[in-house]
Amino acid sequence: MNVSSVLPYFQLILAAGNLAIMLYALSKFLARPHDSILERVQRIEVKIDELEKSLKQGNDRFRDQDDTNEVLLTSILALIEFEMQYCSEEHKPISKGLEQAKENLHRFLSKR
């Protein structure tokens, strides 16, 4: 076998290898946007999960605040009624502001 007869086969093998390498590089190049989009979607999903968790915790905090507000309002109403009863037992006049505060509080609580 002489070199001139084997040379075309080597050139064919090298050309095929070169083609395979180029196709591999092209497939990697074309897959890059898909990979970056997939990575971005995963980061966004993690961020959404964090936001939903934060929102749930915030809603729980607001619910607790609503419960606290309800307790405080009923306590204030009880204090107003106690003061009005005390004034009537001591034969003292009940101030208009106290009566108005009781009416306003009843009106507010009835709307809730």
Secondary structure (DSSP) of 13-58? HHHHHHHHHHHHHHHHHHHHHHHHHHHHHHHHHHHHHHHHHHHHHH
Domain ranges of the chain: 3-111
22-81: pLDDT as tens digits: 999 998 888 888 778 889 999 999 999 999 988 888 777 788 888 888 889 888 988 888
pLDDT of residue 13: 94
pTM exceeds cut of 0.85: no
pLDDT for position 1? 65
Spatial distance between the Cα atoms of 28 and 99, rounded to a whole number of angstroms: 80
Q: Locate 37 and state its tokens.
A: 């989009």
Q: Say what angle helices 96-111 and 3-89 make with each other, to 10 degrees.
A: 140
CA–CA dist 92, 94 (Å, integer)? 6
Q: What is the mean pLDDT of residues 8-13?
A: 91
DSSP 8-state class, residue 2:
-
